[in-house]
Copies of this chain bind each other. A is one copy, B any other.
Amino acid sequence: MKDVVIVGVGPAGISAAIYLKRAGMNPLVIGQDFGTLKSYTGKIENYYGFENPISGDTLIENGIKQAKNLDVEILLDSVISLDQEDGHFIIKTIQHQFTSKSVILATGKKRLSLSIPGFNQFKAKGISFCATCDGYFFRRKKIAIVGCGHYMINELEVLSQINKDITIFTNGHELIDDVDFPVVKSKIVKFVGEQKLSHIETEDGESYEVQGAFIAIGTPSSIDFATKLGVIIDKNNISVDQNYQTNIDGLFAIGDVIGGKLQIAKAVYDGMMVADQINNYIKHKI
């Protein structure tokens, strides 16, 4: 069992890892999707210490190399689920599974948005981001899962235990694995309904009746993990106390996901500060 797993390889996660490592702990950092910073195409010029503007890509890569040079264990893999069991956490990636006494969520704040007509209109009116949270509401309904990768497969496993009338929409992509459910590969062109979602229309002219559509594209964000575990979310930020701990014992969050300034300097600071708290938590955990 690990003492601490950090989900996210951006400034917050790596900064936490560096401080934990230097404090004598052995954090495991897992991440693949680099969140907002990686996708930020502009140059960064307000993070102290760089004579010339630096790209998000370069900074992320520097940070990963910096941690590796300090012998921090980094796994470049996607975390697809986070669960709790018997007082510890189970972290599933595409290839591996880990157990840990504590977890730091630091994946950044990117929340997927689809630029498809009707997407915003039917959010929480049929469109959901969490199979575990909302699956039960749709247990006798026709549902869709939108996605094509490991995260979709994971959400499908959850949903298929409570519902058999499931169609997978890959939205133009190839599915990574075989599934026992109908698959629609044509791109989605519209989410349709009156008060609530009732149909999905695709590029090939088809219209599919669905009451629920679960979005599971790419990899889940910290907010997704947190939501599933019952963490208090306030205005799309994970709520933490002054020690960066959520309402779930042993689950911490830092960086953009907890709100405040969405700045590298703040993410790095959070990483430094949470290290003390993790140390303290592990020391007192029975």
Contacts and interface: CB of A to CB of B under 8 A. Distances in A.
Contacts of A62: 49-51
Interface in A245-279: 261, 263-266, 268-269, 271-273
Interface stretch (A64-72, A96-104, A213-221): A64-72
**Oligomer copy total:** 2
Contacts of A263: 272
Interface in A172-192: none
Interface in A49-90: 49-52, 54, 59, 62-63, 65-66, 69-70
Would you call the interface of chain A mostly helix, strand, loop, or mixed? helix
Interface hub of A19, A49, A51, A69 (most chain B Cβ within 10 A): A49
Contact of A66 (B45, B63, B66, B271): B45
Contact of A266 (B14, B65, B261, B272): B272
A111 interface: no
Nearest to A261: B272
Given A265-B15, A272-B266, A45 B70 contact: yes
A27 interface: no
A120 interface: no
Interface of A: 11, 14-15, 18-19, 22, 45-52, 54, 59, 62-63, 65-66, 69-70, 261, 263-266, 268-269, 271-273
8 contacts: A15-B48, A45-B69, A47-B268, A48-B66, A49-B50, A49-B268, A51-B69, A265-B271
Given A48-B66, A50-B62, 18 more contacts: A11-B48, A11-B49, A15-B48, A18-B45, A18-B46, A18-B48, A46-B272, A49-B49, A49-B264, A51-B62, A261-B272, A263-B272, A265-B265, A265-B269, A265-B271, A266-B269, A266-B272, A268-B269
